[in-house]
Amino acid sequence: MEKVVNMIKSVIYEVEVKLLVGKGEISEEQKDKEKEIEKLKKRLDYAKSIEDPARKFEEMNIVKKMIDDVHSEEIKLLIEQGNQLAEAKVFEEAFEFYEKALKINEIMEEPDIKNKDLVKTSYKRELINKANLEIEKKNFDSAIKSCARAIELDNNFIKAIYYTGIAYSNKKKHEMAIKSFENAVSLDPNHIDSWSNIGLAYEHLNNLEKAKQAYEKTLEIKPDFFMAFYNIANIFKQTGEFDKAIENYMKATILEPDLARAWFFMGCSYFDKEEYNDGIKYLEKAIKLDPNLAQDIHPLIKTLKVSIDKLKESLSFLFLNR
């Protein structure tokens, strides 16, 4: 019964915290908590002065528990403040609140594992949100720093390890990227995005065999992963195996018909084979799906089609007049 009541009280308090933050009254609530702590510390000093050992021990434990309860409420206030600041993309200030919450948890007589986990969950999530924004802004070193702090909080936090690899890939530090992605798959062997990016990194290092192995691994995990077929097709195109490239581009487009890049490079592969009619057909399909794709090529295709038509016409005329 007592456990259920305490759970209900905890839920009510969390709702109250959210309302206080929403009203901007959080600072007053924090001041009240600080005053409460000061009063309890004085009471603890008094408890320490009690001569009767048994009564002294009992009173000190009661006061320490009360102090921990207040700290626990204080931590929830700090977490909520951090969450709201992070939602407004004011990350550095949000992180200060999370750090303060962690420190308060450490000084508690009996640190609250649940509160610590709550802080870490919010902190890690927002560190990754910040890292994502930094990657978009091309601030890759800042993204790596955010991921590193998230990994300090949780050594097995795959998202932080993965985005570290993404940042290194963007910095063109492909060996470092591979190391991060391999750390991610060591924790989760089915982390498909890490395997895919291992392949891309090896491609940049011109190790096409290892790249292909990584892409094949993604197909073991997810047989209908269209990007795997697209990436494998790119490997075959680079090695001059154009029929295999076309076969894999086709598999990618069956799974994802709007993948303009696959249609485009399929057309390129037909050009490599000097099969220009099929090449033109697939290049035009790609450009129809994505008009911004290789804009300079579109007029050349039209010119080439006219030339091919003229060539056909001339050949037909020669045949008729043989």
* DSSP state letter for 190: T
Banded model confidence at residue 186, pLDDT cuts 50, 70, 90: very high
- Domain holding 275: CATH number? 1.25.40.10
pLDDT at 232 over 60: yes
Q: How far lies 231's CA from each of 201, 243, 245, 300, in Å?
A: 12, 15, 9, 27
pLDDT for 292 equals: 83
pTM: 0.76
Lowest mean per-residue pLDDT among 117-131, 222-236, 279-293? 279-293
- The first and second tokens of residue 312, run together, are 């056909």
Count how many domains the chain has. Answer: 1
Would you say 253 and 222 are in contact if contact means Cβ atoms under 8 Å apart? no
| 154 neighbors 183 (Cβ within 8 angstroms) | no
253 neighbors 262 (Cβ within 8 angstroms): yes
Give a yes or no: residue 251 inside a domain. yes
H or E element at residue 143: helix 140-153
CA atoms within 13 A on the CB side of 122: 27
Q: What is the pLDDT of residues 106-115, one digit of tens each?
A: 877 776 677 7
Query: Between 80 and 306, where is the model more confident?
Result: 80
Instruction: Report how far apart, in Å, the C-alpha atoms of 37 and of each of 60, 72, 73, 84, 119 are.
Output: 14, 11, 11, 25, 21
Q: Tell which wins on pLDDT, 308 or 256.
A: 256
Please indicate, yes or no, if residue 168 is contained in any of the structural domains: no
Domain-embedded: residue 313? yes
Residue at 303 is within a domain: yes
% of the chain residues with pLDDT over 70? 81
Residue 112 lies in a domain: no
pLDDT computed for residue 26 by the predictor: 60
- 241-292 per-position pLDDT tens digit: 999 999 999 999 999 999 999 999 999 899 899 898 898 899 889 988 988 8
Domain of 270?
Answer: 225-322
The answer, yes or no, to whether residue 229 has pLDDT greater than 90, is: yes
Q: Is the residue at 106 inside a domain?
A: no
Mean of all residue pLDDT scores within the chain: 84
Query: Which of 12-21, 50-59, 183-192 is predicted with the least confidence, judged by mean pLDDT?
Result: 12-21
Flag whether 317 is in a domain. Answer: yes
- Among 22-31, 52-61, 152-161, 280-289, the minimum mean pLDDT is found in 22-31
pLDDT average, residue stretch 164-177: 98
- Asked whether residue 125 carries a pLDDT value surpassing 80, the answer given is yes
Q: Are the CB atoms for 120 and 149 separated by under 8 Å? A: no
Sign of CA dihedral 180, 184, 187, 189: negative
Classify residue 274 as left (phi > 0), alpha (psi -120 to 50) or beta. Answer: left
Q: How far are the Cα atoms of 183, 194, 247, 259, 271 from residue 217, in angstroms, in the given order?
A: 16, 11, 19, 21, 30
Residue at 236 is within a domain? yes
